[in-house]
Amino acid sequence: MKAHVKKVIGGAAIVIAGAFIAPWEGKRNTAYVDIAGVLTVCYGHTGPDVHRGLRVTDDECKRLLSEDLAEALTVVNRSVTAPMSEPRKAGLASFVFNVGETKFKRSTLLQMLNAEHPAACDQLLRWIYVYDPVTGQYVVNDGIRQRRTEERELCLYE
């Protein structure tokens, strides 16, 4: 397959992931503390550039989402050695976007994907807990559970 055709096809994952992630993350133009206690802005953007009182424009939110998605897809593409459909890449990018590179790279999910285990995508359903700073315990989050169910559907797509 010619390089320019691969590039066009490869771009499908970022479009799918963007359309998938944006509604789950929601958009807030002012920095806030998310359910995991992390300072966040726009569509789930976190990092040292996010500080209390930060306000950003809609265009900046789109740019941050695009950059964060590209990062998540890079992690997926570098980490998963097994063949992947574009929807699978998108679902996994959403997962990486949500839990981070380190947790993904240490996960049984990644091990099973690379072993081409048929139940690999089911591992997503285990990642439904968030830390409750009030109780000091991990609790099931229904929104995260639904997101993981939908990420699994993308992961299973051939």
Identify the residue whose tokens are 């009030």: 134
CA atoms of 4 and 131, how far apart (whole Å): 44
| Residue 94, both tokens | 């959403």
Q: Please state the φ and ψ torsions of residue 48, each to the nearest 5 degrees.
A: -65, -20
CA atoms of 49 and 22, how far apart (whole Å): 20
Task: Work out the number of other CB atoms within 10 angstroms of the CB of residue 78.
Answer: 10
The DSSP output letter for 33 is: E
Catalytic positions: 25, 34
